[in-house]
Structures are given as structure tokens and as C-alpha cells.
Amino acid sequence: MTLIDVVGTIAATLTTIAFLPQVIKTLRTRRTRDISTSMWSLFSAGVALWLVYGLLLMAWPIIIANILTLVLAGIVLGIKLSNRGKEDRD
């Protein structure tokens, strides 16, 4: 593994792990009122494009990190979208 791969793997690991607290909190509370739908949607689209970029380059740190991040972001976005209108009534 080259130094570039090591740096990429560490960066990918840290940025992916950074999503775990939000995902865990969202799964536990099911509350998403303070999460911006447009921000989370744009972010998820960006992560999907990073995944495509990684696939085109066959850059495994980029591919693996973005698959995991897309799953984590998708969980929060899915709960956010399923909560549409419900939290306004609370």
C-alpha cells in the first residue's frame, strides 16, 4: 500500500465514521426536524457522484468509503423523508 493509499484510507475512514453519531441518534429518536432535507439530498447526490468517480478510477478507498457513507446518509434521508409532515404536527 502506498502512502497515497494510506492517507486516502485514513481520510475515508474518518469521514465515514463521522456520520455514525447522526445515524445512531436518528435511528434511536426518529427525530429529523432539524435536519435540512435539501442539504441531506444534495450531500447524498454528491456522495453518489464520488462513488462513480471512485469506480471510474478504481480507487478502492474512495469506492468503499462512499458506499458506506451513501448507506449511512440514505438511512437518515429515508427517515427524514418518511417524517415529512409528521414533525410539523408535533
d(CA 74, CA 40): 9
Q: What is the pTM of this model?
A: 0.84
pLDDT at 1 over 90: no
What does the pLDDT look like over 68-87, one tens digit per residue? 999 999 999 999 999 987 76
8 A C-beta contact, residue 87 and residue 31? yes
Instruction: State the pLDDT confidence band at 90, using cuts at 50, 70 and 90.
Output: low
Q: Domains of the chain: which residue ranges?
A: 35-83
Q: Which three cell numbers stand for residue 30?
A: 426518529
